[in-house]
C-alpha cells in the first residue's frame, strides 16, 4: 500500500460515499503527498492542493454533522451541588489569606 496519493493517481469521485476511516486514509495520503511535494519541489502541485481542499471540506462537513447530532454532551456545566465540600483546600495549603 502506498502512503502518498500523487496527482497522477486516481482520486475518489465522491468522498461522501466513503466511510470515515476511508476518508481519513485519503486525508493522510494527501497530507503526506503535500509534504513530499514541498520538500522535493518547493511547492505543492495544484491538483494536490485541490484534493486537500476537497478532503478537508468533507471532514469538516462530517464534523459539523456529528456536532449537530451529539446529544451526549451537556450544553453547560452542571451547577455545584449543595453537599459539596465548602473548603476546596482541605489540607490548608492555600496561600490565600482571609482578611
Tens-place pLDDT, residues 13-41: 999 999 999 999 999 999 999 999 999 99
Quick one: pLDDT at residue 45?
98
Sites in the chain below the pLDDT cut of 50: 99
DSSP code for 37:
H
Q: In 8-45, which ranges are continuous DSSP H helix?
A: 20-41
Quick one: pLDDT at residue 83?
57
pTM for this predicted structure: 0.68
Q: How far is CA 39 from each of CA 8, 42, 44, 77, rounded to the nearest angstrom?
A: 18, 6, 9, 46
Quick one: pLDDT at residue 99?
46
Amino acid at each position: 500500500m502506498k502512503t502518498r496519493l500523487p496527482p497522477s493517481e486516481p482520486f475518489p469521485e465522491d468522498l461522501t460515499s466513503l466511510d470515515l476511516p476511508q476518508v481519513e486514509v485519503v486525508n493522510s495520503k494527501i497530507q503526506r503527498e503535500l509534504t513530499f511535494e514541498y520538500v522535493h519541489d518547493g511547492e505543492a502541485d495544484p491538483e494536490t492542493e485541490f484534493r486537500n481542499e476537497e478532503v478537508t471540506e468533507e471532514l469538516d462537513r462530517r464534523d459539523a454533522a456529528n456536532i449537530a447530532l451529539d446529544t451526549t454532551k451537556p450544553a453547560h456545566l452542571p451547577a455545584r451541588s449543595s453537599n459539596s465540600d465548602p473548603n476546596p483546600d482541605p489540607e490548608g495549603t492555600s496561600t490565600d489569606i482571609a482578611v
